[in-house]
Amino acid sequence: MRNFMIKFLNKFRVSILCFVLFASINFAYAEEQTPDPLEKINRAVFIFNESIDSVFLKPIAKLYSNVPEPGRIALRNIFRNLETPIILTNNILQVDIYNAQSTTLRFLINSIFGIGGIFDPATRLGLERKDTNFGETLEKYGFGPGFYVVLPILGPSTFRDAIGIGVDQIIDPLNFASKNLQNNWLQPTKTSIRGVDFRERNLNTIDSLKDTSLDYYATLRSLYLQRRKNIANSDKYDIPSLDLDDDEDLNEDGTCCVYVETTKEE
């Protein structure tokens, strides 16, 4: 227990350092419009990501589509359930008591009655998943998005959201499990499976977007930033849903549309 607490405190100190670093850079990009000063680099990373998608991700996603739907849903539910501690931590940091209670109840119900998260009885009981992350936590405390950035493999982001991804990975209990089991493949495996699942659900959507876009890079950038702005403003209108870890915007059959009507509840 003592070693666990020491490791947790060390991770927490790293998170605080990231937070301070972000604060020092954020003020230079506090305007409402999100700039893209690294566009040349971003486009290079974007081309790399597209190569990975064409060679690996899309073919694997097509093979994965042959897995019976109940199996794909069960696997998706398990990973959603495993991500609950990240969501709960950010609920607490955002002083969002209502969603913190809802998230905790969802985790207990799905872990016990959903057999470790394989099933999702909590949703049927009216406890819907309310996803959040450290990027939104920073946003709640007044930090602007910073500049636009394309992350290797992960895709569109902003400086604030990239910091958020890093912190969320640090506080992910799966990292502690990886250290205790001396298995460094747990986190990459989870990310890979989540990526394949997302790509499988959006095979037609993404291909159609590529075919109809004059500049696919600019289109994805616009869609991503429009959606993030909408979440920040708690507005309700048609917005893009192309976020790897955002399952709130999925249709009932688990598929994802380029535009969906979404409301962010307080």
Give the pLDDT confidence of 222-237 residue by residue, as tens digits: 999 988 877 766 644 4
Neighbour count for residue 87 (Cβ, 10 Å): 23
> What is the structure's pLDDT at 34?
86
Tally: H helices and E strands in the chain: 13, 4
Instruction: Note the pLDDT tens digit of each residue in 75-108.
Output: 999 999 999 999 999 999 999 999 999 999 999 9
Instruction: For residues 141 and 94, give the distance between their C-alpha atoms in angstroms, rounded to a whole number.
Output: 8
- The DSSP string of 67-99 is S-HHHHHHHHHHHHHHTHHHHHHHHHHTT-HHH
Instruction: Note the pLDDT tens digit of each residue in 207-216.
Output: 999 999 999 9
Residue 259 has φ and ψ, to the nearest 5°, of -125, 130
Cα angle, residue 159 at apex, residues 157 and 162 outer, rounded to 5°: 60
pLDDT at 3 over 60: no
Residue 10 pLDDT class (50, 70, 90 cuts): low
The pTM of this model reads 0.76
Q: Who has greater pLDDT, 186 or 14?
A: 186
> What is the structure's pLDDT at 33?
72
Residue 124 pLDDT class (50, 70, 90 cuts): very high
Residue 186 pLDDT class (50, 70, 90 cuts): confident
> What is the structure's pLDDT at 178?
72
Two tokens, residue 37: 């000063």
What average pLDDT score do residues 20-31 get? 44
Averaged pLDDT of the chain: 81
> What is the structure's pLDDT at 45?
97
In the 8-state DSSP scheme, what is residue 125?
T
pLDDT at 198 over 70: yes
Cα angle, residue 223 at apex, residues 258 and 266 outer, rounded to 5°: 85
Q: Who has greater pLDDT, 264 or 172?
A: 172
CA distance readout (Å), 198 to 91, 136, 163, 243: 24, 21, 22, 9
What average pLDDT score do residues 171-194 get? 80
Range in 49-58, 101-110, 167-176, 251-260 with the lowest mean pLDDT: 251-260
> What is the structure's pLDDT at 265?
40
> What is the structure's pLDDT at 4?
47
Instruction: Note the pLDDT tens digit of each residue in 126-167.
Output: 999 999 999 999 999 999 999 999 999 999 999 999 999 999
Q: Is 5 exposed, middle or buried (0-12, 13-18, 19+ CB in 10 A)?
A: exposed
What is the C-alpha R_g of the chain?
18
User: Which percentage of the chain shows pLDDT scores above 90?
Assistant: 62
